Amino acid sequence: MSNIHDERTVELIEAFHKQFGQSPRYLSRGPGRVNLIGEHTDYNDGFVLPVALKRSVQIVLRPRPDRQVRIFSAEFGESGFFDLDGIAFNPEQLWLNYIQGVAQSLEQEGFGLVGIDALVSGNVPRASGLSSSAALEIASAHAFLAAAGQNHLLPGPRLAQLAQRAENQFVGVNCGIMDQFISELGRANHALLIDCRSLDYQLVSVPEEAALVIGNTRASRSLASSAYNERRSECEQGVALLQRALPGIRALRDVSSAQLEAERARLPATVYRRCRHVVSENERVLHCVAALQEGDLAAAGRLMDASHDSLRDDYQVSSAALDTMVETMREVAGCYGARLTGAGFGGCAVALVKPGSEQAMADTIFERYPKATGIWPEVYTTKAADGASVVDLGE
């Protein structure tokens, strides 16, 4: 739950008053996320284990008596406008489309919305693999529902699905469900095990002796989109070839490491390596859950290390910048394990560390990473945080 007296919220309320000449009624919040383990498993019907971040997108808003939506973006320094009866993709203001898409998705679900005046501000770094887009979608969904007096009528998992639908169908980005799910359903000091086939989920307690350090490589992710589509196609090819011997499988989620090795000869070498990553990564996620439940952070860290090595060698979605970041993290005393997080080719790496070692890791990253890459990084420290929230600020 956001503290309405914290400095950031006070500044947002003041900015809203300056922009719209009145006070906001509600504050909605959607956090970013980092995935502890389970990469490129989501579109293979597999398992993921993300946590919600303290960094979030916040929206302060006031309902309007009509169907007009007026929004000011603090980060972009510009205003956006649309009418709920005339929603249309805006090629000039891409950030506005995430909000429009959510409004459209909610109305398609049968929720009658009202217009709002809103000010949006986020401290989730964009294009970093920490899911600023899902944070914006979830914050927007709660903003619209709160304004319409319907915020408690939509179960969290369904709200996450509607936010995903907005990104898939309106914005045109073929994302999975993980980002919206964790932004909506995350809980402090817990990771969230998500079954990407059934959408069953389970909160997994993260021991007190664990903290997270996120290193943003700030390296270009220009290859991520094309490589994503290529890897997805290779996984589908692997399933089609394996089905000849394993007719009961629907996705790589259904294949064990033993089965994959037994049928290895059916697969081209590259396709085999792609499949080996996904199959072993699903197994690592479940082993990591067990390790966290047992309080065995050393084992959880080793699984994170193995995940990165597999993403680097078998799935080939790492980069020189990410490898440098991960190697730097692993050298710091107190680091249990580190891996890239997100689609790869740039963005962020995450390390599981002993509390108290965060500053030493940050100092080491700032000392070594720029010398190796010529890029100045960003470093964030966090623990698993709560998911989305709405606060009634009163009249």
pLDDT tens, 201-217? Answer: 999 999 988 999 999 99
Q: How far apart are the first and last CA of the chain?
A: 20
Model confidence band, residue 4 (pLDDT cutoffs 50, 70, 90): low
Q: In this prediction, what percent of the chain has a pLDDT beyond 90? A: 85
Q: Above 60 in pLDDT, residue 2? A: no
Query: Is position 179 annotated as part of the catalytic site?
Result: yes
Do 258 and 192 sit in the same domain of this protein?
no
Residues 245, 183 within the same domain: no
Q: Is residue 1 part of a domain?
A: no
156-164 mean pLDDT: 95
What integer pLDDT is reported at residue 219 of this predicted model?
87
In the chain, the number of structural domains is: 2
**174 shares a domain with 224:** no
**Helices 156-165, 132-147: crossing angle, 10 deg rounding:** 120
At residue 344 the predicted structure's pLDDT band, cuts being 50, 70 and 90, is confident
Q: Which of 42, 45, 117, 179 is catalytic?
A: 179
pLDDT of residue 8: 87
The boundaries of the domain holding residue 271 are 211-382
Q: Which two tokens stand for residue 23?
A: 């006070």
Alpha carbon distance 376, 5 (integer Å): 33
**Residue 1: band (very low, low, confident or very high) from pLDDT cuts 50, 70, 90:** very low
Regarding whether 223 and 270 lie in a shared domain, the answer is: yes
Residue 278 included in any domain: yes
Q: What is the mean pLDDT of the chain?
A: 94
Whether the CB-CB separation of 182 and 387 falls below 8 Å is answered with: yes
Contact present, 352 and 212 (Cβ < 8 Å): yes
Distance, in Å, from the CA atom of 129 to the CA atom of 140, rounded to the nearest integer, reads: 20
Q: What is the mean pLDDT of residues 17-43?
A: 95
- The answer to whether residue 2 sits within a structural domain is no
Please give the pLDDT value at position 3.
Answer: 58
What are 300-309's pLDDT values in tens digits? 999 999 999 9
